[in-house]
Structure 1
Amino acid sequence: METDAETAAKRLLGCELVHEVEGHRLRVRIVETEAYDEADPASHTHRGRTARNDAMFLSAGHAYVYLIHGLHHCMNVVAGFEGHGCGVLIRAAEPLEGLAEMERRRGRGGAELTNGPGKLCQAMGITLPMREHDLGEPPLILIRRSPVDQDQIVVTRRVGIAKNADAPRRFYLRGDPWVPRPWTT
């Protein structure tokens, strides 16, 4: 998806991620995203290319996996043209396949299973070795689905950041039970 971050963030809603890991097929439907690019002070790419954020400067369709607070993995789908730091944080997803394995990995079930970027990566087994992975190739694949209706997409401020938090760059599916409740406004 070589496009701007906001367009990619909306377009990724309803798409699926599939991870074949340790003999398990884990599949989710993306229901919440956030857009980031190098013009955004909240983006890891705002100050230029580094060893940590290098994957965000790859061509569209790669994974940028990183750690927050030294503990939790998060994943962006790179969205821009090669050389332009642009990506979409996958914030929440609906489990579709491999539920028991995801629950085992997280140690819990229900809405808390995949309703946050760190929770999603833990449930899906997405870790740092997936950084720079081409999402068109196994074991982690992004499956494009038909775009969701624009009237089903809620646009709001981002959460969990300090810089540029009020920018309307967070997108989620209206009424979806897998979007975290405190963040639906």
Structure 2
Amino acid sequence: MKNKQAELIKQLSDKELYLNLVFTQIILLIVSLVLSIILFEDISSFFDLFQFKDWRILTIGGSAGAAVIFLDILMMKLLPESYHDDGGVNERIFKNLPVPMIFIVALTVGLSEEILFRGIIQTHLGLFWTSLIFALIHYRYLFNWFLFVNITVLSFFIGILFEVTDNLLVTIFTHFLIDFILGIIVKNKEGSH
């Protein structure tokens, strides 16, 4: 299964890979919109999850993102490269993107995934099921035990941030920061140029 996915990724042009990424995020946003209409009593209940005038977006969200980035970098240095092998997807996505596009990709992914998983699913199914679904959706990590454990723990961590702050913008900022900084690291990784 892992080899099939790796082969499919290799066959895609960069343009096709980016289109798949964009298409996936659009699907997540559409699913979020439909579920928010079905599951929330009214639209204001959904928008209450976004508290813009909250310093915790930067303090808690930023600190949490920085801690995850630090741990990821530490693990990249301490563990064999095979532990971080996702079939080359992250490298393919980020290696040729200019930094402003990495910013846009990270923001889009952070928004779409957090709105769906924390804003919709977690508010209705709870932390455990949301974290499990989030980990399973990251299909390419299922074939590497370290990446699967990593994404599952990360999902629980971000879910707990949402439980503690009740502010979706905290988790969106955390998710964005992690993806943006790690995307830049992948782009600048030796041998990726």
**TM-score relative to the length of structure 1:** 0.26
Structure with greater strand share of residues? 1
More helix by share: 2
- Name the structure, 1 or 2, with higher relative contact order (CA <8 Å, separation 6+): 2
Structure exhibiting the larger radius of gyration computed from Cα positions: 2
